[in-house]
Amino acid sequence: MFAASLALALGAIQAQAQTYPARPVRIVVPVATGGIADYYSRVIAKHVSDGWGQPVVAENRPGGGGNIGADIVAKSAPDGYNLVMGFLGSHAVNQFLFAKMPYDTQTDFAPVAMVIEAEGLLAVHPTVQVQTVADLLAMARAHPGKLSYASGGVGTASHLAGELFKSMTRTDMVHIPYKGNAPAIADLLGGQTHLTFATLPTIIPHVRAGKLRGIAVIGSTRSAAAPSLPTVAEAGVPGFSVNNWIGLFARAGTPPEIVRRWNAEVNRIMQLPEVTRRMEVEGERYTPNTPEQFAQFVRAETAKWEKVVKDAGLKAE
């Protein structure tokens, strides 16, 4: 009887995978519109929808540093009809920042595919009279608690970069969280905040237009998109390095055939000429990957940031 039941269950899973998708699919974007997670969710949704003949919709559900949107998928059925474009905060860091999480990052999700790693930039509003990291440190130390930095939300790379910068330099700046990088940068452009540690794609157009001033790259290496700028580490904070990333996750228990099909589609889409051209200009990196490789990457990021968060004593506001 057990063997017969197992055979029936396996047959049902295989049949589901073969007919998938039989109805519209949703990619939950756990941040506001305008950022890299939003952009690439829509790019992937469009191409998959065109190829599979079923609507694939990117739906923004921001809030809670990504926890609100991610939890929707964590509580969904494991059938491949709800996926989430997770990121550094939602799937590696928040579990150490928040006293209570609505989901378990390790057990509630099936990693599908890494989408991109995005370089970041430390930038200031033109009214902030600094040109270098050394200038910024001098101002922050002379006026503790007076400078504010905007982030895309608690647990995002922009938040972590700011907190790590404060911790490593022993400076005091006020964190202003937003529901995504786009509204954070909008307020920075308007002068409501003083600076940000944002992903390059979301901020470099404003730097090139002279609306913001780039100070340094926040990753471990200089960027081809901003070749004249040093890294923060080179500019006086040795060891400082933060890279953002986004990747697609399904609900844990989703049939492996569906996970592999999504992985193949992401790999195909991210290598399309129009997509690779944007990445070259915007300072983004993509490496073809399997679900297993992406899962290994997330585990490594989790271990790395657990130590950083605990050593720095970071907590969600």
pLDDT digits (tens, 9 = 90+) for 264-278: 999 999 999 999 999
**Distances, alpha carbon 107 to alpha carbons 88, 250, 308, in Å:** 17, 11, 22
- Over the stretch 219-251, which tens digit does the pLDDT of each residue have? 988 998 899 999 999 999 999 999 889 999 999
Give which of 291, 292, 284, 210 is closest to 40, Cα–Cα: 284
Confidence band, pLDDT 50/70/90 cuts, at residue 192:
very high
Residue 63 is encoded by which pair of tokens? 């809030």
What are the distances in angstroms from CA 10 to CA 3, 7, 17, 256, 259? 11, 5, 11, 12, 16
pLDDT of residue 3: 57
Residue 166 CA to chain centroid, in angstroms? 21
Task: Judge contact between 114 and 88, C-beta under 8 A.
Answer: no
Percent of the chain with pLDDT over 70: 94
pLDDT of residue 1: 58
* Cross-strand pairs, 57: 26
Could you tell me the CA-to-CA distances from 90 to 85, 231, 284, 313 in Å, in that order? 9, 26, 20, 18
Span 103-129, average pLDDT: 96
pLDDT band at 317; cut points 50, 70, 90: low
pLDDT score of 120: 92
List domains and CATH numbers for the chain: 24-117+244-312 (3.40.190.150), 120-217 (3.40.190.10)
Take residue 207 and report the two structure tokens written for it: 């730097």
- Tell me what percent of the chain is helix, strand and coil, each rounded to the nearest 5: 45, 20, 35
pLDDT at 2: 52
Q: Are 29 and 58 in contact (CB under 8 A)?
A: yes
**How many other CB atoms are found less than 10 A from the CB of residue 170?**
10
Decide the pairing of beta strands 174-177 and 148-151: parallel
Sole residue written with tokens 């989790």: 302
Beta strands in 40-179 (DSSP E): 56-60, 82-87, 109-118, 120-124, 148-151, 174-177
Average pLDDT over residues 39-55: 97
Q: Locate tokens 């926890």: which residue? A: 67
Find the range with the poorest average confidence among 129-138, 154-163, 296-305. 154-163
